[in-house]
């Protein structure tokens, strides 16, 4: 069955969440948003391209930082309202310079940092 | 630092996305939504508890199907607007009886099913 980004289910702002997972390790790196054109560009270019809600513009991950996300495969969930991008991440995915954005764990009611910023 | 669900960033509907990942294998199983009370209940009970947008009610994952998600650890992202739950999933996470909701891959412009429903 041929894929058309228009067949995905977008929210009221025309956006769909996309989870980025490191293909080699399975680590969940981040979650950000795409619109239909971001989805199309990601598939065309092989570079994961989100829609920045704060800047209201396309956001080619790593374009300014060099921390690119190379797309390995894009998956769609059962309800067609969430995407999973398996990627090869160069350097940190998080703007805090950590490998993953999910660096805070909740343990016994406390917040614990489990990842340090990468050396750079 | 002590954790308070009220410090998370919720959308206009009071919801935050939560990604469920199988702790043992790293497989991303699903994404669903929580409100502040879901987050509190998940941490208190150790059973992942979403907010069902369609039913507008709490949804203890697996309560009716038996396909429970036992919480191993909950993580918060850098912007505090997305959660990652590492879980031990009993049976399929997806309502289609597949292990993961992300069973459709996009390959060369085609949709390809990569997971079969589990035997039950």
CB A61 within 8 A of CB A44: no
Residues 2 through 41 of chain A touching chain B, CB cutoff 8 Å = 2-3, 17, 19, 21, 25-28, 30-31
The dihedral built from the CA positions of residue B55, B57, B62 and B64, taken in this order, carries a sign that is negative
> Looking at the predicted structure, is the pLDDT value of residue B120 above 70?
no
Q: Is B74 on the interface with A (CB under 8 A)?
A: yes
> Looking at the predicted structure, is the pLDDT value of residue A74 above 90?
yes
> Looking at the predicted structure, is the pLDDT value of residue A102 above 90?
yes
Close Cβ partners of B73 (under 8 Å, ≥ 6 residues apart): A105, A106, A107, B23, B85, B86
Instruction: Copy the structure tokens of residue A39.
Output: 């989805």
- Chain B residue with CA closest to A26: the answer is B26
pLDDT band for position B119 (50/70/90)?
confident
User: Given this model, what pLDDT does residue B44 score?
Assistant: 97
- pLDDT tens for each residue of A12-35: 999 999 999 999 999 999 999 999
Instruction: State the Cα–Cα distance between residues B17 and A17, nearest whole angstrom.
Output: 9
> Looking at the predicted structure, is the pLDDT value of residue A63 above 70?
yes
Q: A64 exposed, middle or buried (CB, 10 Å; 0-12, 13-18, 19+)? A: exposed
* CB nearest B102 (choices: A84, A95, A103): A84
Q: Cβ separation of B31 and A21 shorter than 8 Å?
A: no
Inter-chain contacts counted by CB atoms under 8 A, chains A and B: 104
Q: Is A84 on the interface with B (CB under 8 A)?
A: yes
Q: Is B35 left (phi over 0), alpha (psi -120 to 50) or beta?
A: beta
Residue scoring higher pLDDT (A87 or B119): A87
User: Given this model, what pLDDT does residue A37 score?
Assistant: 98
The secondary structure of residue B2, as a DSSP letter, is: B
CA distance A24 to chain B (A): 11
What is the pLDDT averaged over residues A29-55? 97
What is the pLDDT averaged over residues A3-19? 97
- pLDDT tens for each residue of B14-59: 999 999 999 999 999 999 999 999 999 999 999 999 999 999 999 9
What pTM was computed for the model? 0.97
Q: Are strands B83-89 and B16-22 parallel, antiparallel or unpaired?
A: parallel
Cα angle A18, A19, A21; round to 5: 140
User: Given this model, what pLDDT does residue A35 score?
Assistant: 98
Q: Is B53 on the interface with A (CB under 8 A)?
A: no
Phi, psi of A21 (to 5 degrees): -125, 130
Q: Is A76 on the interface with B (CB under 8 A)?
A: yes
């Amino acid at each position: 069955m041929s894929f058309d980004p228009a067949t995905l289910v977008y929210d009221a702002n025309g956006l769909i969440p996309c989870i980025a997972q490191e293909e080699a390790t399975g680590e969940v790196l981040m979650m950000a948003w795409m619109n239909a054109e971001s989805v199309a560009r990601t598939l065309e270019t092989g570079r994961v391209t989100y829609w920045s809600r704060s800047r209201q513009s396309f956001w080619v991950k790593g374009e300014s930082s060099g921390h690119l996300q190379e797309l390995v495969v894009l998956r769609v969930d059962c309800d067609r309202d969430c995407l999973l991008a398996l990627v090869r991440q160069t350097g940190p995915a998080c703007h805090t310079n950590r490998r993953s954005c999910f660096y805070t764990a909740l343990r016994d009611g406390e917040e614990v940092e489990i990842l340090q910023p990468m050396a750079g």
